[in-house]
Amino acid sequence: MPEPFFRPAHADHAIVEETIFLEFSPSLEHAMPSLISLKDDLKDDFPNQEILNLMKVQFVQNNNNKPEIGSPQVNEAAGLHLSRFNPDGTLFQTLAIEKDAIQVSRYNYSSWNEVWTEQKSFINKAFAKISLAPAFLTGIGMRWVDQFIYEGDPKLYDVNALLNNKSCYLNQNAFRSGTRWHCHTGWFDKNISPEREVLNQVNLDAGLINLNGAMRIAVTITHTLTLRASQQIDELSGFVPSAPGGSDALSGLMEALHDGNKRILRNLLTESALARIGLGSEQAA
């Protein structure tokens, strides 16, 4: 009888999304006209471009009268969404700018060095547009989504073939709940960034997914790591690329977050699963 087998989403890794996000306070409203011009600076990297408008509608109720809808207010050019697609029509990468956040995502992952080098250049160009804006960097984060497709008879499904049943991040119910289950957890880690606490959120979701038009059984691991200002609004200013040593500090933090993700995967997955994604012998992801 063949053993249950979980196939990584790709030949040598399981990553279906890698995202870096930056949070700001106050909002980027004053810098938005300048940020919108990124569509011209990055047109070769992101050929598909959409300027986002924001509509506000106010509901007013006086005494016991029926609620009335006020006149809608439209804030034109309130954000920007840039994207690039693969030749087969699937997403390659995106860059989203909203009033309080900038997010750059890669869906066609290659290697960390290549992806971070490119994303860092996008981030540097974005910060150059907001250098004079009254907005502080208040959050820096990274999100990884890994996916494993179950290849086998659903009756023989056994997630022990993929996940380490001794992992401290997993509830034992995940190993006796069949093909559909969820296991979400979060904690602050003091060991990722010196003298700072990084919020970790690890969500495992098992069930059916739509894979190229066919419903397949899969396990999806989403790991989000976030460093946020906790005391002073400007305490993360040392990570701004234009600050003295800021570019190196930001790269160092990203390396630490990337290593933090690999440590979690090494705790979650079995040795055979780790070997299939290049993490079985401390290889770089």
201-223: pLDDT as tens digits: 999 999 999 998 899 999 999 99
For tokens 């869906």, the residue is: 107
Q: Do 238 and 123 share a structural domain?
A: no
Task: Domain count for the chain, please give it.
Answer: 2
Q: What is the pLDDT of residue 131?
A: 81
**pTM tops 0.85:** yes
Give the whole-angstrom CA distance, residue 68 versus residue 35.
36
Low-confidence ranges of the chain (pLDDT < 50): 1, 283-285
Residues in CB range of 66: below 8 A, 6 or more apart = none
Indicate whether 153 and 273 sit together in one domain: yes
Contact 150, 218 (CB under 8 A): yes
- Polymer length in residues for the chain: 285
What confidence score (pLDDT) does residue 9 get? 96
- 95 and 50 both lie in a single domain: yes
* pLDDT in the model for residue 285: 46
Q: What per-residue confidence (pLDDT) applies to 185?
A: 96
Give the pLDDT confidence score for residue 281 in this predicted structure: 61
- Rounded CA gap, 142 and 226, in Å? 7
Distance CA 228, CA 197 (A): 8
Domain boundary (108, 134, 160) is at 134
Task: Give the pLDDT confidence score for residue 215 in this predicted structure.
Answer: 95
Q: For residues 130 and 144, state if they share a domain.
A: no
pLDDT, position 188: 96
**Domain of 256, in residue numbers:** 1-26+140-280
Among candidate residues 134, 149, 181, the one where a domain is terminated: 134
Whether 158 and 237 share a structural domain: yes
Q: What is the DSSP letter of 194?
A: T
Q: Name the maximum alpha-carbon separation found in the chain.
A: 72
- pLDDT, residue 128, reads 95
Residue 285 lies in a domain: no
